[in-house]
């Protein structure tokens, strides 16, 4: 089995912050915040053009109304309110909340923002869901002291915003975000087993002022607050990688659960009649894990599947962008991999000795065997091609009607789109 990540362009991270993706992943991810003055031209180029108030309003309403939306459109506290008085509002309350001086933050759905999020996810090769948020403030305090449970990437689009941040996370990989009072007391409601911090020293907070075209990365567990120095618009891309046990669970499900007996637990508990069943399963689990390392095909395939999956909301939004009518595929027609997903594939030899290729596309999988598997792998590896080029990938000439039918099916499934 092999694993592949296709890349045909300079990375977003290199363009915006001037460091390689590998250096960012090793030196900053989860360790320390990073501020870069990328320039509004570079930011707009990464987003495919200017993105402002009309786009924010339309994307905010769509994010609120989308099927499966958690309806997390919120109005921040205004002066005189308690720091925990974060209000859930509807889109019809946005104008009155802004008029009162509140900051509005919530899910935004926009094709350009989602494509940017998918590009970041693809480059960082990070498993787990990604969310797109927007924040609009008329000025003044925008976000009270808190830390988040996710990795946050910020693009400042309008106005200036002052951030106060801890140099490093005060909690490593917190299970959830928490608000913090002015004296450093951490909100302890619904505390989880891995969160022991009760109070933190706020004396070492650092100050960063974002201006239009700036980029900011904030690791989970990093204390921060914000103040808009004038009307401020920013967009955020939040990554919430799953725990390591989720990776293990996926690998085990693919191996141990190949046999039907392990796909459902018996009644009456592990003792008595089912002791042999449990002991056999645990032994098989030990055998599976003892044979794995970071380069094992099973590990790479599970990682790739989790990376391709952007989370239910972003997956469904990306799928909704498929054209109602597929493009007419002719030999000279250009096609390319759909960049609204971080596409991955894995390859292995099945029980019949045939090559089997599985492409991961959001939460969907496209699988083929034999000659079809080779063609499917070529589609992902070439990334952009014409129909006529696809006919000659093996050196021989495929029948055009067969090639066209196969490519058309990949367009219908969302893997390919017109170049």
CATH of domain 322-419: 3.90.930.40
pTM for this model (two decimals): 0.89
The residues, ordered by sequence, that sit 6+ positions from 66 with a Cβ below 8 Å of its Cβ are 107, 109, 313, 316, 317
Reading the block at residue 26, the tokens are 């090793």
Task: Name the residue with higher pLDDT: 351 or 318.
Answer: 318
Specify burial of residue 364 (Cβ count, 10 A radius: 0-12, 13-18, 19+): middle
> And the tokens for 328?
């007419």
Domain-wise residue ranges, the chain: 3-239, 322-419
The C-alpha atoms of residue 378 and residue 387 are separated, in whole angstroms, by 12
Q: 3-state class of 226 per DSSP?
A: strand
For the cut 60, the answer to whether the pLDDT of residue 409 exceeds it is yes
Closest to 130 measured CA to CA, from 235, 23, 18, 244: 235
DSSP codes, 353-390? S-EEEEEEETTEEEEEETHHHHHHHHHHHH-EEEHHHH
Distance of CA 31 to the CA centre of its chain: 19
pLDDT in tens, 343-378: 999 998 888 889 999 999 999 999 999 989 999 999
Q: Tell me the three state secondary structure of residue 175.
A: coil
Superfamily designation of domain 3-239: Cupin (2.60.120.650)
Contact 49, 66 (CB under 8 A): no
The whole-number average pLDDT for the span 411-417 is: 92
Comparing 7 with 134, which gets the higher pLDDT? 134
Cβ contacts of residue 96 below 8 Å, gap of 6+? none
Top-confidence residue, 9 or 89: 89
How confident is the model over 152-202, as pLDDT tens digits?
999 999 999 999 999 999 888 888 878 887 777 777 666 665 566 656 777
Is the distance from CB of 232 to CB of 141 less than 8 angstroms?
no
Start-to-end C-alpha separation, the chain = 29
């Amino acid at each position: 089995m092999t694993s592949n990540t296709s890349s045909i362009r300079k990375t977003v991270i290199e363009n915006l912050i001037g460091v390689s993706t590998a250096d960012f992943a090793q030196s900053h991810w989860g360790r320390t915040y990073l501020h870069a003055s990328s320039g509004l031209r570079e930011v707009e180029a990464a987003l495919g053009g200017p993105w402002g108030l009309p786009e924010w309003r339309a994307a905010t309403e769509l994010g609120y109304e989308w099927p499966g939306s958690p309806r997390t459109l919120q109005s921040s506290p205004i002066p005189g309110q308690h720091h925990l008085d974060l209000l859930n509002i509807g889109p019809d309350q946005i104008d009155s909340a802004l008029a009162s001086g509140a900051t509005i933050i919530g899910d935004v759905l926009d094709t350009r923002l989602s494509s940017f999020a998918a590009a970041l996810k693809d480059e960082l090769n990070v498993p787990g869901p990604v969310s797109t948020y927007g924040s609009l403030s008329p000025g003044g305090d925008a976000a009270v002291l808190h830390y988040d449970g996710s990795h946050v990437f910020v693009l400042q689009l309008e106005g200036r915003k002052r951030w106060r941040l801890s140099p490093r996370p005060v909690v490593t990989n917190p299970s959830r975000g928490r608000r913090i009072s002015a004296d450093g007391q951490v909100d302890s409601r619904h505390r989880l087993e891995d969160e022991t911090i009760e109070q933190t020293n706020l004396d070492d907070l650092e100050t960063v002022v974002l201006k239009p075209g700036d980029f900011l990365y904030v690791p989970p567990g990093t204390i921060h607050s914000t103040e808009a120095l004038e009307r401020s618009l920013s967009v955020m891309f939040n990554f919430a990688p799953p725990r390591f046990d989720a990776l293990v669970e996926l690998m085990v499900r693919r191996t141990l659960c190949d046999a039907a007996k392990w796909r459902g637990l018996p009644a009456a508990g592990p003792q008595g009649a089912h002791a042999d069943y449990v002991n056999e399963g645990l032994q098989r689990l030990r055998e599976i894990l003892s044979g794995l390392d970071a380069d094992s095909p099973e590990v790479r395939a599970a990682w790739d599947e989790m990376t391709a999956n952007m989370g239910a909301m972003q997956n469904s939004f990306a799928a909704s962008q498929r054209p109602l009518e597929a493009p007419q595929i002719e030999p000279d027609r250009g096609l390319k991999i759909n960049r609204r997903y971080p596409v991955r594939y894995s390859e292995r030899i099945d029980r019949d000795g045939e090559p089997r290729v599985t492409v991961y596309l959001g939460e969907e999988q496209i699988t083929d065997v034999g000659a079809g598997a080779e063609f499917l792998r070529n589609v992902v590896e070439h990334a952009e091609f014409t129909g006529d080029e696809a006919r000659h990938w093996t050196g021989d000439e495929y029948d055009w009607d067969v090639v066209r039918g196969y490519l058309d099916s990949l367009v219908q499934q969302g893997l390919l789109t017109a170049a």
